[in-house]
Structure 1
Amino acid sequence: MPDRLITHLRHVDLAVPDFARQREFYAGVWGLTEVATDTGLSFLAAEGSPEQYVVRLRKAEDKRLDLIAFGAESTADVDALAERLAAAGVRIVREPGPLDTPGGGYGVRFFDVDGRTVEVSADVAVRRHRRIEERESIPVRLSHVVLNATDIEATRRWYEEHLDFALSDTLMHPAMGHMMHFMRCNPQHHSMAIARCPHTSLHHISFEMRGIDEYMYATGRVIRSGARKIWGPGRHLAGNNTFSYFLDPHGNTVEYTTELERLDEDAWHPHVYDFTRPEVSDQWGTANPMNELVARESFNDPDRGVFVAPPV
């Protein structure tokens, strides 16, 4: 097993103009639980997850990705990472120190190569969580986040060099080359992926369900809510996970998934998959075809938060 300072994905934070509508979607339709609020802030947990929260919403004039947060094993690891990043010329936007978000802890914030704000933290209190029951169609935990980048090779190298991520698999197009890199920070096939896009933005946030039945019940429940489904249900080849993609009220793509593959990292060798083959996108053949309209939705709006740290 490789040595890493990053252990897992903690939460993804979004800023939106219509805070009330976004809050209603995530705390109602999507099945998260609001665990704390402040002026223009909402912290939302997944009932099956020990993380204090998996999504934070902030009211703002501009829609943007505020933050991606990862965990570390100890405060010493946070300090070691901060020192390493600073020595490499990475721009630190908040020096290591105590966190004032739910669960507290100790963390550092910095910009990645594309200007996204990233936080790495340790010693965050474990939230009291519970087992998700049979047929309960709410997320167990946050699964992964996918980021859009204009130069996915440069972004991949940055996360490999500075945060010790490893490449699991790649999607390619015969005429366009590499289109997506799946990256891991633990044995889970991917905690993050990097997709090729004309601009920097959020591609999607994914949430793990209890099992296939719960994933399908949740997919049906969200369809019945009137939320727009853009792709699925189906099962990808890379990662072998199920997928159903929807749009939240501000046009961010969110996914229900289950059974994401866990790897033997010592034996794993990355694949390069041609996603023009139908079985690569969807092994089952049940999803609507991947086409330009589906891809365009995943481009999202250009991120207004590039190299601008969130105020909280």
Structure 2
Amino acid sequence: MTAHDARLHAFRTDLADVRLKGEVTADRFVSGQPVRITAPVADVRKAPRPDAGVNTQLLFGDDVLVFEVAEGWAWVQAERDGYVGYVADTMLAGRDQAPTHIVSVPRTFLYPGPDLRFPIAGQLSMGSTVTVTGAAETRGTHYAVLSSGEAVIAGHLRPVDEVAADYVSVAEMFLGTPYLWGGASGFGIDCSGLVQLAMRMAGRDVLRDSDMQAATLGEPVEPGPDYAGLRRGDLVFWKGHVAVMTDAETMIHANGHTMLVSREGLKDAIARIGYLYGGPTGFRRP
């Protein structure tokens, strides 16, 4: 991370966030316009091209600031974690209503009405926020009715101001979820995306990438001889990778080895990863 990391500050040589005036050089400074993500998952790309790499993802209901819209792409900054990049401009709309609930299960379906036999209208990831305007019951199943008229299983939502007690338990809900580089949703997720989303559901917004998390999350912890000083919830970092300890010996992580969110013994992982990438670079207690 640098003082003006381009992942976290909206600036280019031709255009920059007005809040950075006097700190960076640009031809023009503008104020970001507040909008909201309307796609189930929005890829945030490095450049305004469909073949550009995906750095992260935004979820339905995420608030962003838009600094430029051109040729089908919007240059945005996420308000929750500050990440900057390009999303398709069709995935944005105004902030007409405040969200009331958040999806609290890894994945759920949107129905065109309160009936699970209806063909689905879409799907949402954990962390997506919605506006609930009513309730319905059909054949004993309870639904939350959204401002759009669509319905979600009521038990898959919780009020936006309620948080999980243990972020590790949230991370464990994603076991078996496919690994996806840049992924930040229940449909596919990477190592730091898993940490970020699990912690968000426990009421803590943290930065996105593993190097950011290694520099800012909690405090360094000394693992001790044979790593016996580690405990549930501690984070283990490698260069470009992070895992969550579920107990003193076992960790959970989204990884390219199994291409899943999976459990692995810490010592086994250290031996396996070390062959290519070296040993852990640090341990932190959030």
* Fold shared per TM-score above 0.5: no
TM-score of the superposition, structure 2-length normalised?
0.32
Higher relative contact order (CA 8 A, sep 6+): 1
TM-score of the superposition, structure 1-length normalised?
0.30
* Structure number with larger C-alpha Rg: 2
